[in-house]
Chain A
Amino acid sequence: MNDNQLIANTLGRALLDERNQLRLRQAIQDGLPLTRQPYKTLAIALGIKEQQVLDTIQYWTESDLIKRLGLVVKHHSLGYRANAMVVWDVPADDVDRVGELLSQCDVVTLCYQRPRRLPHWRYNLFSMIHGKDRSMVLEQLADLIAENQLDGFQRDVLFSYRLFKQCGGHYANGECSSRNSEREQAESGQSMKHAQPSIKETQVAYG
């Protein structure tokens, strides 16, 4: 959506000009202030009106610039330690149907169609399943396959066992906030350490 469309779609709202939109984006991309009136706190810091903050964030949410406003859990710390990328080889004319099916399963947290990279990689549908441990993930996957009759598709399960780097994406100003080199996290279950508090979860979904 270009700026003119953005303005046309928001008549009656107290939207910000381009420069102040960028400033607001930079101010909130690392999180909202934890104050009683967070939108007012932002408004004061930026020298704009609280209503402009509210309306602009509202508009960003409606237009999907913001996927979600709320909180992001560190699933690792919450005991969801097994993370499997389950990939499927689905014919092009069926990929929308299967993608919709997968995305509606409770255990699937992400679902994307991506290009194959033949001969190295035959899979075109990617889904993510998190669980407390590997056996839980595999059980959930078996149920999902049975319930949705997905047994006819070639698939592969890629568990992760080391997380080398996890940091937030910064887009508004191109800054790169963290360089967490090689903080290893085992992913295999019983003998693992909790996530380092300093490792930031990525702030955007997988692209």
Chain B
Amino acid sequence: MDNIDRDLINLLQGGFPLFPRPFLVVANQLRDVNETLTEQNVMDRVQRLLDDGFLSRFGPMFQAERLGGGLTLAAMKVEAEDYDRVAGQVNDFCEVAHNYQREHELNMWFVLATETPEGIEDTIQKMEEVTGYSVFNMPKKEEFYVGLRFEL
């Protein structure tokens, strides 16, 4: 990763042009860093950053609730000896988007995304039956908007 990659990432985290030749627009925007940068160079760099695992995606990030689905953060308090079993059972639910082990009494934290808002309660109920543990549902009440970007 070089300085052009960094500038490219910083720029595209803020948005991608909605123009017929968006990569050309981006190349022009980055001309002050590198005046020979072409449309094709920008496309190649994005592809390489994706292939190398620096980017998880290139495209839109949808607001799940606005698509009619359910979304929440949930937590469980799992005994150490049961942790791997419960993690496996929880992760078998395809509604689980990501699952972190964290240092707290509540030590398993995951995001649930379902097709419908009611799907959240259904999934939690099934999860409690399968694992034998309570699931604490903590849906967002309010979002305080942040830029969601990493300056590199």
Contact = CB atoms under 8 A, between A and B. Distances in A.
15 contacts: A32-B60, A36-B40, A36-B43, A66-B62, A68-B15, A70-B12, A111-B146, A112-B144, A114-B73, A114-B140, A161-B101, A166-B99, A169-B64, A171-B113, A182-B88
Contacts of A19: none
B115 A171 contact: yes
Interface of B: 9, 12-16, 18-24, 39-40, 43, 46-47, 49, 51-73, 75, 77, 84, 87-88, 91-92, 94-106, 109-113, 115, 136, 138-146, 148, 150-152
A117 B136 contact: yes
A108 interface: yes
A147 B86 CA distance: 41
Nearest to A163: B100
* Chain B CB within 10 A, most for which of A66, A166, A171: A171
A155 interface: no
Contacts of A110: 146, 148
B100 A171 contact: no
A68 to B, nearest CB: 5
Nearest to B100: A160
A156 B63 contact: no
Contact of B53 (A39, A54, A158, A197): A197
A74 B55 contact: yes
Interface residues of A, number: 91
A91 to B, nearest CB: 14
A104 to B, nearest CB: 8
A65 B67 contact: yes
A34 to B, nearest CB: 5
A167 interface: yes
**Most B C-beta atoms less than 10 A away, residue of A112, A163, A179:** A112
Contact of A40 (B20, B43, B70): B20
Interface string A34-58: 1111111000000000100010011
A202 interface: yes
